[in-house]
A and B are shown apart, each in its own frame.
Chain A
Amino acid sequence: MNKKILLQLTKRSTFIVVFLFFISFVSSISLFQKVFAAEEAPTQTSKEGGGAAPGVELPQFEAGKAQSTAGQPAAATGAGTTTTAIEEEEVGPVQYRTFFGIDSRVVVWIVSELHLMFAAFVLGVPIFAVIVEIVGFKGGDVKYDKMAKEFTKLLSAAFATTASLGGLLGFCLFGLYPEFMGHMTNVFAPTMYIYALMFFGEAFTLYGYYYSWEILKGTAFRKWFHIMLGVMLNLFGTSLMFLTNSWATYMMSPAGIVPTTGKVLSLYHAIYNPLWMPVNLHRLIANVCFGGFIVGAYAAVKFLGAKSEEEKAHYDWMGYVGNFIGVGALIPLPFAGYWLGREVYSSSPVMGNIMMGGAFSWTFIIQAILIGMLFIGANYYLWLGMGRIKGSERYTKFIKYLIFVIFMCFAVWLTPHNLPLSGEERAMIGEQYHPFSKYFGVMAAKNAVVNLIILATFFSFLIYRRSNKGEMAPFSEQGRAGKIGIFSAAIFCLLMLVSYAISLNFVELEANIKVFVKPLISALYIQSFAICLAAFLTFKNKGKLAQGMLFAVTACIAVLYFWYYGFQVMQKANLVLRYLSVTQVSIVMSCLIMNAIIDIFMFRKAKLVGGIVWGKMPVRSQYALILLCVVIVILMGLMGFIRSGLRMDWHIYGVLQDTSQWAYTPTLAYMGRIVGLIVALFLGLVTFVFWLANLGDKKKSEKAEEYEDEVVGYEKQ
């Protein structure tokens, strides 16, 4: 069998896998429902004699009875009609099975993580592939189009693996956790059919998008049609993710059911549970970040194996774009993560405490190390990248300061709030916590340094961006686009800041706590004024001053002042902390948006000092890209463990308890080994899949070389 046949088989098999997955998934659902209904039937008859949804323990009352009860006084119904009893577990339907004697939980853990990682790539990459394609089409630059197609080639290869892993995960869950999946099917059955249909939609649009790339070139209409296919692919993909997120988040914050019986009251509420939207947003951004860094590593591997300068230049550029996308998505990710964490607290304070102050608090130290590695790696890559830009020497002096800032922030972020002390140490110190380090371990300090790292990374990006730019054109020469751009950015930032400041006036808090909100409102108004001033200075051709002023004001408020004020709030009005964090995020975001827009228009018509010599990058820069990829995969594995582990010994938090022998939270060391294994498996699989995807290209290039040899030989004759 030659490589061409192998490749064709791979491509065709993707359709077969998708089809088989759908058939098997639907049949397993219906089969399971039948089995479950058959098992439950006698119980239902004896309890109620009426029909009810299969898979649910029926409530011990009937609609008619409920009506009659409603007519009675509440006090009368209170005592006699409610029952709570604790009974010994009875022998019933199978709750758990093992996977050929292996720990079921580990099997599901590995398969679901692998599925999620591939899915993140498959969902994240199309988002920027379409954007890159549009950029190439509107700018008339073919190399963007070529790169977008290369992204999509990786996508189509990974898609079949994602589907296969999804099928395997479905079988594992139904086979190993039948009771749990019975509950989930009972609540979410209608969405499961929609999921399968959406999967068709994604498969068709993905392969349509990839295979029609060359066919739909030529006219603007055709190209737009092709872009529309990409947009549809994203819509299907995002909808799929949102659907599955509703299942996963329902397990953490169940809603729309009677918690005690599992009876479905509202499918809408079960889907739109308290954690659904925060997870949707977090995963959407994280997928883009993940996809960006994977693409960056792919480019790095290709760069390191490149045989020609042209190839090196192409993959250097691709790596830069991958890193740019990864970092671009990484910057808002802590904000989305903060929102998710806050909602976890709101939906269950116990779960929130377990997360930040309980068994999982140490995992956030590891998370901090990984995120620190991401920011340091991304900045290091940018700084190395300045070496290929003539004119960057003007800015390299800033790098040492940036390194200092980022490492100091990293150190603060790593400081644990509660270092376990021995009795002797405690006696020496005289209190439970270290008198000095405790101030760096609390949330106020960590929030402050995260914002500083983000600002420093953004600054790195700005100096990289302007490295080859020289004398700027006056702002008055930027035309209407410049004015509209700056004006729109300022209005957007003002709306964000002022509307939040106004809303803070109406928060429901006791008067003695509410006074702590006032400084936040003042901070928002000061930042609003700084935004207006920055816009004004830019119009007056003082854009650099405007940017510097905005950076300074933001750092003073969001980092220095809120670091100090955060302590005050934590001690005296803890409830205000959530408003403080949102204020901090809003202020930093407004700075990033405004300064980015100012930079774009300030340097739009600037003279070039020298060009970028793509391909002239040291080898270690490519290892930085590979580091970013491995770290983001590890981070995804770790965060998956945290999100899922927060339920502790509940399949569905507070509703369905995990009574299996694996109903305990693994230790950090054990988790580290399993996540390490998952990451190695994922990277191995990805490498294999990408190798398969490139087989066709190798064949094509070999054929082209053979053809060239033949032509040369013919000409010689």
Chain B
Amino acid sequence: MNKSMLKITAFGIAIIGFYIYITMYVAGLSGTGGGGESAGGVNPEAGEKIFWGDGQCSTCHKIGTSGSATRGPDQDGLIGRAEERAKELGMPSGLDYLVESIVEPEKFIVKGYDKIMPKVFDPPIMLSREKILAVLAYLQTLGGEPDIAAIMKYKDKIPEASKKKVKPWVPPVVVDAKEGEKIFFDETRPITCGKCHIVNGKGKQVGPELTGIGAIQTPEYFLESILTPSAKIVKGYETMYVITTDGIPYNGLIKSETDAELVLLKEESGEIEEVAIPKSDIQEMKKQDVSIMPGNIGELLSVRDFYGIVSFLQSLK
């Protein structure tokens, strides 16, 4: 090898070396360390990524103004509330309450919310133990200071990610999720899901947004929610029953509420209409156990179309 070739080789190796150094430096900045697994290490930064990423937490929880999900409680100021609940339940600390809520999500249900939280170490989310600990570290920053040493004491309480395999759900007819998507947004039909639900930025926000819903809900949940929408109503989407002083009744979702006025979204012949009612005209107002979503969707869709929609919803991961 001649001299110029040696110099070129050294130059090339130096660039590659610089690149490796940069990746190591950025890895240090991001808190992922130099091991094998990403988001490695139990720290709030890694936990934040998991919360908003593959942990799917943000599909149901928002944090103050970040995110818009209302299925689960807003996690803003979580630590203060966790400490209060721990005291009420006679638990040693708020961290115990948080760990218990993740390991056994149905054990403590916050008032006003449904039992919808999955076990995040089971399919389809399957978070590793380390990732769950990282999420806990992040949750500690929501109104408190992270204490990694305290978190690590709960290591053995958190199960390892399940190696279970999801047995595929099989619709009783051959359907295509793509077709289901078309039906979902098809406005020429008597019923159009997209008029009330947003998926990936498309549709309208009357009911809960369904982006990413396939990652956290099962096909049975979709079947039930479509055929009997009132069986489980997502928190924040309960129908309000309002009677005015003139005796006119209204059923609908609250779009906005001020001291002077209440704006309701009500369904009229398959269309959603806004009704503004002055607060002074309201005689009575109460939450209903009936969803605004039509209960006769099963009659308006063919079997194929129905399962197409379910298949589409399941594909939203």
Binding site for B on A (CB under 8 A): 57, 59-61, 63, 65-66, 69-70, 72-75, 77-79, 81-89, 255-256, 258-263, 265-266, 269, 301, 304-305, 345-346, 348-350, 353-354, 357-359, 361-362, 365-366, 369-370, 416, 419-420, 423, 508, 510, 575, 623, 626-627, 630-631, 634, 648-649, 653-654, 657, 659, 664-673, 675-676, 679-680, 683
Contacts and interface: CB of A to CB of B under 8 A. Distances in A.
Contacts of B126: 649
A675 B204 CA distance: 44
10 contacts: A69-B172, A70-B303, A73-B298, A75-B227, A77-B172, A350-B54, A366-B26, A634-B15, A670-B35, A670-B36
Nearest to B221: A84
B38 A664 contact: yes
B177 A259 contact: yes
A61 B173 contact: yes
A448 B40 CA distance: 33
Interface in B24-77: 24, 26-40, 43-45, 49-50, 52-54, 56, 58
B200 A346 contact: yes
B122 interface: yes
B166 interface: yes
Interface residues of B, number: 90
A84 B37 CA distance: 31
A73 B311 CA distance: 18
B62 to A, nearest CB: 14
Given A78-B298, A353-B52, A89 B163 contact: yes
Interface in B223-256: 223, 226-227
Given A359-B54, A362-B27, 13 more contacts: A82-B171, A89-B163, A269-B178, A305-B4, A357-B53, A358-B53, A630-B15, A665-B37, A667-B27, A669-B24, A669-B27, A670-B34, A680-B12
B112 to A, nearest CB: 27
A675 B154 CA distance: 36
A87 B304 CA distance: 27
A57 B303 contact: no
B288 interface: no
Contacts of B32: 362, 667-669
Given A366-B22, A672-B22, A654 B214 contact: yes
B294 interface: no
Q: When A and B form their complex, which 7 residue pairs have the shortest distance between CB atoms, in order from nearest?
A: A672-B23, A358-B53, A665-B38, A260-B168, A75-B298, A668-B27, A669-B34
A508 B202 contact: yes
Contacts of B164: 86-89
B273 interface: no
Contacts of A87: 164-165, 167
Contacts of A260: 168-171, 311, 314
Nearest to A347: B200
B304 A82 contact: no
Nearest to A306: B4
B136 to A, nearest CB: 16
Contacts, number: 252
Contact of B178 (A74, A255, A575, A672): A255
Most buried by A among B28, B36, B170, B304: B170
A380 B30 CA distance: 31
Contacts of B50: 358
Interface in B154-186: 163-178
A676 B16 contact: yes
A351 to B, nearest CB: 9
A48 to B, nearest CB: 12
B227 to A, nearest CB: 5
A71 to B, nearest CB: 8
Nearest to B202: A508
Given A77-B172, A349-B211, A69 B36 contact: no
Contacts of B15: 627, 630-631, 634
Interface in B179-221: 200-202, 204, 211-212, 214-215, 218-220
A680 B20 contact: no
A664 B168 CA distance: 23
Contacts of B175: 258
A669 B49 contact: no
B306 interface: yes
A670 B173 CA distance: 46
Given A304-B8, A358-B49, A667-B38, A365 B26 contact: yes
A669 B8 contact: no
